[in-house]
Structure 1
Amino acid sequence: SGATCRDPSHNPSGNDGASQNRAWERFGIHSVVFQRRRPFHGERLRRLLEAWPIPGGNAFDLDALGPWSPGEGGKDVEDILRPVLRSKGFCWVDQEPLRQHVWSHAGKTLAVRPADWWWAVLGEEQLRFKVGYPGVEAEYRNVKREKWHRDVGDRRQELVFIGGPALREQDLVPLLEACLLTDDELGEFWERMRHLEVPNDDFDMNGLLKKLGASQERAD
C-alpha cells in the first residue's frame, strides 16, 4: 500500500533519518509496495519496461498488454510511470522461472536481470551444498521464516516503487497486475515446470570456483 518511505538507504544526501523523513514528507515522497505469488509473463513485462519513460528513452505502445483499468482521468501509461523516481526488488518471470530476477531502477537505468536460484526449486543435495557456504544457512532460515509460501516457497513478486505526490497506487498496480500470468497461463506454466530442474553445474567445487571467478571479474 502507499506510505511515506522511511528507509534510510534511500537517502542520497547522507543526512540523518529524521531530516530525511521531514524532507520526504514535505515533498510528498512515498512508496508503493507490490507483492504477488504468481509469475510475470515475460513478454508483457518487457513491453512495460520498454514503455517506462526513462529520460532520453522512447515509450512503447502498450495496446497489446491486455485489459487493465486506468486511473481517474484515463491516464496513459507514461503519466502513470513518470512519477516513479526509483524502484527495486525481486521478481518471478515465467521465461526463466527457476531464477530470481533483480529489478533495479534509478535515474536513467532500469533493468530486470536474472540472479540466483529460488530456494524452492533446489534439489535436496543442491540445497545441502548451498547452505554449506558461510552465512548462507542463516539466510535460508530467514527466508523460510519470513518469505515462504506453502505452495510456491520463496518465489514471488516483491517490488517497491518510490515517487512523488503524483505516484498513485490505484494507477500503478493494475499495470503490474496486467503483466502477471492469467489463470489459464498459470496452468500451462505449472505443467511446463514439471519438466524443469536446476542443473548441478553450480553445486560442486568446479561450479564454486567458476562463480568465485565471475565475482572477482565483476569486482575488477
Structure 2
Amino acid sequence: MSIDPSTSAAPVAADHRPAVTVLSGFSPDAVQAAARAVLIADERLVAISHDVTRIRDGVVHRTVRSATELIEQSTVELVHGCVACTLREDVLPTLVRLARTRPDRDLLLVLPPAIEPEAVATACAHSLVDGEPVTAAVRFDSYVTVVDADRFLDDLASTDDLRDRELHAADDDHRTVAEVVAHQVEFCDTVILWSRPGTDPLELSRLGTLVHRLVPWAVQVPTGTTTSLDCTGLATLVRRTGRHDPQRPGMLGRALEGWPIALHDPNPDGVGSILFETRRPFHPQRLHDCLETLTGDALRGRGHLWIASQPDTVVGFESAGGGISMGSLGYWLAALPVDRWTATSDQRRLAADLTWDPYYGDRRTVLALIGLRLDHAAITELLDSCLLTDAELAAGSDRWPALPDPFAGRFPLTADDN
C-alpha cells in the first residue's frame, strides 16, 4: 500500500513554551502544601507566589523558588493597589520574564485567596507584555484548585465577606467568601481534594460528590488519608495534562455557548443538583419575591434568566453564601439585527441555532441550583409559579414591559453589548 504525500497529515510542530500550572484555593495551608509536593516531584519546576496582604496599599511581595532554591524575593509597588494591576503589572510580566530566562523550566503560579483563577485567564486574554501576548512566551496547561476537606463546606456556606476576614483586595471589593470559593472551583479543570490522616472517609466521599456537582467537567485528584503523600504521583496527575481549554467561556457564559452548567441529579437525602430550563419568561415581580426562598437551601446557584419585562436582555444569575448577584450578559441574539450576530462567538451562534425557537428565538432560562437535601419538587413548583401564566402569555409580548418590575433599570444595555 502506498501513501500519497499530498494527502498525508503535516507533522505537528513541537510546543517548546514553558507550561504554566495555575494553583488556587481558599485554604492557604492546603495550597502551600500542595505546591511544595509538586515542587518536590520536579526540582526544575519554578513556583511564583505573591503575598497580597498589603495590596490595598499598593504593595505586594513576590517570591520565586524551586524545591531547593530561593530564586527571588522582591517587594513590588503598584500604581494602583488592585487585583487587575497586580496581574497586569507583575504576575504576567514575571511569567514571561522567567519563560525567557529559564526556557527549559515549567512554571507553577500559586495564587493567593483574593485572586481568582478566571481573573488570570481574563488578564492573559487582554494584556500584552513587551507588545506581545503572554501566550507567545508561555502555555497555560492547567488550572488546578485545592479543596481543603476540613473547611471547604464551611467556606462555601459562609455568609462572610472577604472584608470580614481582612482578605479584600480593595476598598470597593465586596466579594463574599462563598462567591470566591465557588469561582475558584468552577473555573478549574482539576481539583485536588486535600485531606489529612484524621479526615473522616465518609465526609471525604461527600466532599467529592459536592465537588462533582459543582464541576462535573473537572478531574478530581484525592490525596488520601494516610500519613504519607506520593508527591510524584500527585504531580503526574496535575501537571502537563493539557486540560485547560482557552476557548472555554466563564461560568455565566457557558450555557449561552452550549456548555453544560450542571448535571440534573436531584438527591433529597444528600448532595444534589437541579437543572431548570424553560422557554417561558419569568414574571419580574414574582421572581423577585421568591429569590430569597429559592436560594435559601442552595449552596450555589448559577445560570442565565429571561425576564418578560426586559425581553432584550440576557440576565446572568449567581447565588452563594446567602448572597445573590444578577447582571446583564448583553443582548439575546433574537433582539439584534442579523448583521450584529458576527460580533458574538461562533460557538454561541451555533448553540443558538441548535435550540432556536420560531417565536422566542434563543431566549430561554437555564438555571442550576446545587446543595444538600434540596427538595426538587418544591423548588421546581416555586420556579414554575414565577413564570408567566397562560393568560399573561396570551396578552402578548407588547404588554410585558408594563409588568411591575423591581429589576427596572438594573440591567442596562449599551450599543457595544452583543
TM tier relative to shorter chain: 0.5 to 0.7
Contact 1:81 1:172 in 2 (8 A): no
Deviation of the 1:201 alpha carbon:
6.2
AA of the residue aligned to 2:329: A
**Structure 2 residues without counterparts, runs of 5 or longer:** 1-184, 194-203, 212-268, 402-412
Deviation of the 1:141 alpha carbon:
1.8
1:119 to 1:178, Cα distance in 2 relative to 1, 3 A: same
Matched, 1:139 2:316: no
| 1:104 pairs with one of 289, 312, 318 | 318
Deviations 1:34-93 (A, max 9, x none): 1111110001111112x34xxxxxxxxxxxxxxxxxxxxxxxxxxx75321111101100
Equivalent-residue separation in structure 2 for 1:25 and 1:139 (angstroms)? 29
Deviation of the 1:123 alpha carbon:
1.6
Equivalent-residue separation in structure 2 for 1:125 and 1:87 (angstroms)? 34
1:140 to 1:35, Cα distance in 2 relative to 1, 3 A: same
AA of the residue aligned to 1:15: I
Equivalent-residue separation in structure 2 for 1:21 and 1:149 (angstroms)? 39
1:98 to 1:25, Cα distance in 2 relative to 1, 3 A: closer
Deviations 1:108-139 (A, max 9, x none): 32122222100112123333xxx146xx2343
TM-score by length of 2: 0.33
Matched, 1:182 2:392: no
1:115 to 1:201, Cα distance in 2 relative to 1, 3 A: closer
Matched, 1:31 2:239: no
What pairs with 1:185-200 in structure 2 (closer than 5 Å)?
A: 185-192=392-399
Equivalent-residue separation in structure 1 for 2:367 and 2:414 (angstroms)? 30
Equivalent-residue separation in structure 2 for 1:86 and 1:201 (angstroms)? 29
The structure where helix makes up a greater share of residues is 1
Equivalent-residue separation in structure 2 for 1:139 and 1:32 (angstroms)? 23
* Secondary structure in structure 2 of the residue aligned to 1:15: strand
Equivalent-residue separation in structure 2 for 1:112 and 1:124 (angstroms)? 27
* Secondary structure in structure 1 of the residue aligned to 2:395: helix
Alignment-derived partner of residue 163 in structure 1: 371
Equivalent-residue separation in structure 2 for 1:132 and 1:20 (angstroms)? 44
TM-score by length of 1: 0.59
* Secondary structure in structure 2 of the residue aligned to 1:14: strand
Equivalent-residue separation in structure 2 for 1:176 and 1:87 (angstroms)? 13
**What is the percentage of aligned positions where both structures have the same residue?**
26
Equivalent-residue separation in structure 1 for 2:324 and 2:317 (angstroms)? 8
Equivalent-residue separation in structure 1 for 2:343 and 2:187 (angstroms)? 33
Alignment-derived partner of residue 152 in structure 1: 360
Contact 1:94 1:189 in 2 (8 A): no
| 2:379 pairs with one of 169, 172, 194 | 172
Higher relative contact order (CA 8 A, sep 6+): 1
1:97 to 1:20, Cα distance in 2 relative to 1, 3 A: farther
Equivalent-residue separation in structure 2 for 1:114 and 1:188 (angstroms)? 26
Deviations 1:145-172 (A, max 9, x none): 2x322331211111001011x2011110
Contact 2:283 2:309 in 1 (8 A): yes
**Structure 1 residues without counterparts, runs of 5 or longer:** 1-7, 53-79, 195-199, 212-220
Equivalent-residue separation in structure 1 for 2:334 and 2:348 (angstroms)? 14
Q: How many residue pairs end up in the alignment?
A: 155
The structure where strand makes up a greater share of residues is 2
Deviation of the 1:184 alpha carbon:
1.3
1:81 to 1:105, Cα distance in 2 relative to 1, 3 A: closer
AA of the residue aligned to 1:14: V
Matched, 1:45 2:287: yes
Which of structure 1's runs of 4+ aligned residues deviate more than 3 A? 19-22, 191-194
AA of the residue aligned to 1:96: Q
1:114 to 1:28, Cα distance in 2 relative to 1, 3 A: same
Moved more, 115-124 or 32-41: 115-124
1:15 to 1:152, Cα distance in 2 relative to 1, 3 A: same
Contact 1:90 1:100 in 2 (8 A): yes
Matched, 1:15 2:200: no
* Secondary structure in structure 2 of the residue aligned to 1:172: helix
